[in-house]
Each structure stands twice: as structure tokens, then as C-alpha cells.
């Protein structure tokens, strides 16, 4: 398998491990946006969030919280991308924990909101809820 994260899980590529269990691995990012930038990954290989079993996702989020608390960060981003146009570069689900110590370090985000039509929102709500 060519997945870099699967190779890290197997120990074929070294990492700076913060946490490891049967289901989860967390390590420091080697190209950090800020001090303490970490990656938290399920050991189950899946390219997108919906490919990962729920029990693995639950542990990933719990570990993400533990690392944030251990780092003592007050402001941080948790980022998870799915697909190339959503900026996913590695086809293995992973969560970034990115401390935001000040205005210039960490993740910078523009959030180009636009007004929503309330009728369209209601239709969308009903459509999504009918499929859950």
C-alpha cells in the first residue's frame, strides 16, 4: 500500500508519536503551521470521513481533545478535509490540531459567507433529515 499514513502506522516511516492505541495514532506534523501542530489519524484506512467506522472516529476526537488539553492551548483549530477540492492531500482520514497562539501563527481562514434563502434552507433541512 502506498499510503504514507499507513506506512507510519506500520512503523515503516518514523514519526514523533504523541499517542498510540489499537485504533488511533497521533503525531507531530513535520510541516507545522504553529508549535504543537499535530495529526490524529484512525488506524483503519479510509480516504474520507464516511469510510471510517464510528468507534474509530469517536476515539480520534477524544484523543484530539486530550492533546489540546496536554498542550495547554486556549485557541486552536481542528481541521479535517475530504477530497482534493476540499484540500485533502493524503487519502487517509486525518485530523489536524493546529494551535492558534496569536493572530499570525496557525491556520488562517477566510469564510466567504453569503445570505441564504430561508425557503431553500427549509427544503435542504427536510431533504437531509429524510436520509438520516
pLDDT in tens, 84-128: 999 999 999 999 999 999 988 899 888 889 999 999 999 999 999
In angstroms, rounded to a whole number, what is the distance separating the alpha carbons of residues 71 and 38? 10
- Report the CATH number at residue 84: 3.30.428.10
Answer yes or no: are the C-beta atoms of 21 and 58 closer than 8 Å: no
**In total, how many domains does the chain have?**
1
Position 10 confidence tier, pLDDT thresholds 50, 70, 90 = very high
Q: Which domain holds residue 97?
A: 4-130
Q: Which residues contact 125 (CB under 8 A, 6 or more apart)?
A: none
* Rounded average pLDDT over 11-22: 97
Q: Is 94 a catalytic residue?
A: yes
Lowest mean pLDDT among 21-25, 78-82, 107-111, 127-131: 107-111
Percent of the chain with pLDDT over 90: 87
Pairing of strands 95-99, 76-79: antiparallel
Catalytic residue among 37, 92, 94, 96: 94
Amino acid at each position: 500500500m502506498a499510503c504514507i499514513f499507513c506506512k507510519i502506522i506500520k512503523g515503516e516511516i518514523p514519526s514523533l508519536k504523541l499517542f498510540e492505541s489499537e485504533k488511533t495514532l497521533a503525531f507531530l506534523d513535520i510541516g507545522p503551521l504553529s508549535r504543537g501542530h499535530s495529526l490524529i489519524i484512525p488506524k483503519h484506512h479510509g480516504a474520507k470521513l464516511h469510510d471510517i467506522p464510528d468507534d474509530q472516529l469517536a476515539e480520534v476526537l477524544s484523543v484530539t481533545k486530550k492533546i489540546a488539553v496536554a498542550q495547554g492551548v486556549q485557541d486552536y483549530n481542528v481541521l479535517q478535509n475530504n477530497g482534493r477540492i476540499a484540500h485533502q492531500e493524503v487519502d487517509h482520514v486525518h485530523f489536524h490540531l493546529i494551535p492558534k497562539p496569536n493572530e499570525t501563527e496557525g491556520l488562517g481562514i477566510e469564510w466567504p459567507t453569503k445570505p441564504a434563502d430561508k425557503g431553500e434552507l427549509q427544503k435542504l433541512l427536510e431533504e437531509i433529515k429524510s436520509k438520516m
